[in-house]
C-alpha cells in the first residue's frame, strides 16, 4: 500500500498518525475538483432543482463520502477509517443547522430559487479553502499548546448550549448588516440582474443582492467553522482525515439544502441532538490530554443522538398531524 497507518503511541486508543504521501493529497484533490466541475456544469442553466433531483444528488454525495472511506480503509487501515467516518458524520449533522440558516437568509434577501445554487456553489467553494486553513491552524495550535484543548472544548460546550436554544429567525437580521458591510466597498443595488453578482447602473459598477447573499453565506460559514472544525479535531488530529471528511460533507450541502430547506418543522428535536453532539465532543476534547475516548465510541454516541432525534421528531410530527386532523387544522400544535 502507498501509506501505512502508524499510531502516535503504542496504545491502540490514540489518534492515528499517518504517513501521508503526495499521491494521497493528489487523489483527494482530484476527486474534489472533479465533483466541483461536474456540479458547476450540471447547474450551468440556473434551473430550480426539484425535490427528486435534490434527493438523488444528496444520495450521490453521501455515496461519494462513504466511497472515500473505502479509499481511507485501503490506504491507512481501520483506525483512520473510523476517525474519517466520525468526522464526516459530525460535519454532516452540524451542516443541517447551516442549511436552515441559509433558508432564512435567502428568504430575507428574496433570492430567486433558480439563483440560490449559484450563491451556494461559490459560498461552498470558499468554505473548502477556509476550512483547510482552519484545520492546519487548529492542529498546529494543539500540537504547540496542549491547553488549547481546554479552550476549544469550552467553545464547543458553549456552542452546544447555544444550538439547543436555537431561534427560528436566526440569520434573518443578517440582511441589513451584510448590505452595510458590502456598501463600504462598493455601491449595492436593490435590484437583481439575473445571475450576475456585479451589474452596471447608469454607468456605475454596483453589487447586486446576489453578491450580498454570497457575503452572508461566507460569513455564516466562518461562524459555523468555529464549531465544526474543533468538533472534528476532537475525534482526529490528522489534517488529511479532517480535511477530507470536511470536504465530502460540505460538497453535498447544496443538494441537502434544496432537499431539507422547507422541512425544518419536521425536525423538532434536531437542535437538541446537534447541541448534545457539540457538548459531547467538547467534553471529549477538554479531557483528551488525560484520557482519550476511542473513536468508535464517539461514532456510536453521535449516531445514537441523531437516531433518537429523528425518531422522536417523526413521532411528534405524526402526533401533531393527527391532532391537526381532529381539530380541523385549527390546532397550533403547541
pLDDT tens digits, 200-219 = 887 788 888 788 888 878 77
Question: Distance between CA 20 and CA 3 in Å, rounded?
Answer: 6
pLDDT tens readout for residues 60-111: 999 999 999 999 999 999 999 999 999 998 888 887 777 777 777 787 777 8
- Whole-model pTM? 0.76
Q: Whose CA is closest to 149, among 34, 254, 293?
A: 293
Count CA atoms closer than 13 A to 147's CA, side-chain side. Answer: 0
Residue 290 has pLDDT above 60, yes or no: yes
DSSP 186: S
User: Is the pLDDT confidence value at 332 over 50?
Assistant: no
For residues 118 and 47, the answer to whether their CB atoms sit within 8 Å is no
Q: Specify the pLDDT at position 263.
A: 64
Q: Is the confidence at residue 186, as pLDDT, over 70?
A: yes
Torsion 82-310-246-281 (CA) sign: negative
Query: For the chain, how many residues are written?
Result: 334
Distance CA 251, CA 323 (A): 39
Residue 2, pLDDT above cutoff 60: no
Please check whether residue 159 is in contact with residue 278, taking contact to mean a CB–CB distance below 8 angstroms.
Answer: yes
Report CA torsion sign: 105, 109, 114, 119. Answer: negative
Amino acid at each position: 500500500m502507498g501509506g501505512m497507518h502508524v499510531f502516535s503511541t503504542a496504545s491502540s486508543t490514540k489518534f492515528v498518525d499517518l504517513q501521508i504521501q503526495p499521491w494521497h493529497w493528489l487523489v483527494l484533490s482530484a476527486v474534489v475538483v472533479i465533483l466541483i466541475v461536474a456540479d458547476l456544469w450540471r447547474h450551468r442553466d440556473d434551473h430550480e432543482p426539484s425535490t427528486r433531483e435534490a434527493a438523488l444528488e444528496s444520495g450521490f454525495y453521501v455515496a461519494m463520502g462513504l466511497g472515500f472511506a473505502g479509499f481511507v480503509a485501503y490506504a491507512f487501515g481501520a483506525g483512520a477509517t473510523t476517525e474519517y467516518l466520525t468526522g464526516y458524520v459530525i460535519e454532516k449533522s452540524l451542516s443541517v443547522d447551516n442549511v436552515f440558516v441559509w433558508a432564512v437568509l435567502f428568504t430575507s434577501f428574496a433570492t430567486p430559487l433558480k439563483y440560490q445554487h449559484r450563491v451556494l456553489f461559490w459560498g461552498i467553494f470558499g468554505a473548502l479553502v477556509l476550512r483547510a486553513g482552519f484545520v492546519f491552524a487548529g492542529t498546529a495550535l494543539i500540537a504547540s499548546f496542549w491547553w488549547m484543548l481546554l479552550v476549544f472544548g469550552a467553545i464547543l460546550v458553549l456552542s452546544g448550549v447555544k444550538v439547543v436554544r436555537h431561534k427560528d429567525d436566526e440569520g434573518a437580521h443578517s440582511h441589513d448588516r451584510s448590505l452595510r458591510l458590502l456598501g463600504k466597498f462598493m455601491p449595492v443595488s436593490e435590484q437583481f440582474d439575473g445571475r450576475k453578482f456585479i451589474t452596471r447602473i447608469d454607468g456605475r459598477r454596483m453589487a447586486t443582492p446576489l453578491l450580498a447573499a454570497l457575503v452572508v453565506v461566507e460569513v455564516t460559514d466562518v461562524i459555523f467553522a468555529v464549531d465544526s472544525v474543533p468538533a472534528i479535531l476532537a475525534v482526529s488530529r490528522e489534517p488529511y482525515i479532517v480535511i477530507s471528511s470536511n470536504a465530502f460533507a460540505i460538497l453535498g450541502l447544496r443538494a441537502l439544502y434544496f432537499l431539507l430547506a422547507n422541512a425544518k418543522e419536521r425536525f423538532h428535536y434536531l437542535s437538541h441532538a446537534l447541541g448534545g453532539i457539540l457538548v459531547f465532543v467538547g467534553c471529549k476534547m477538554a479531557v483528551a490530554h488525560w484520557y482519550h475516548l476511542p473513536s468508535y465510541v464517539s461514532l456510536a454516541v453521535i449516531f445514537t443522538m441523531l437516531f433518537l432525534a429523528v425518531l422522536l421528531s417523526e413521532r411528534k410530527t405524526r402526533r401533531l398531524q393527527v391532532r391537526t386532523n381532529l381539530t380541523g387544522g385549527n390546532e397550533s400544535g403547541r
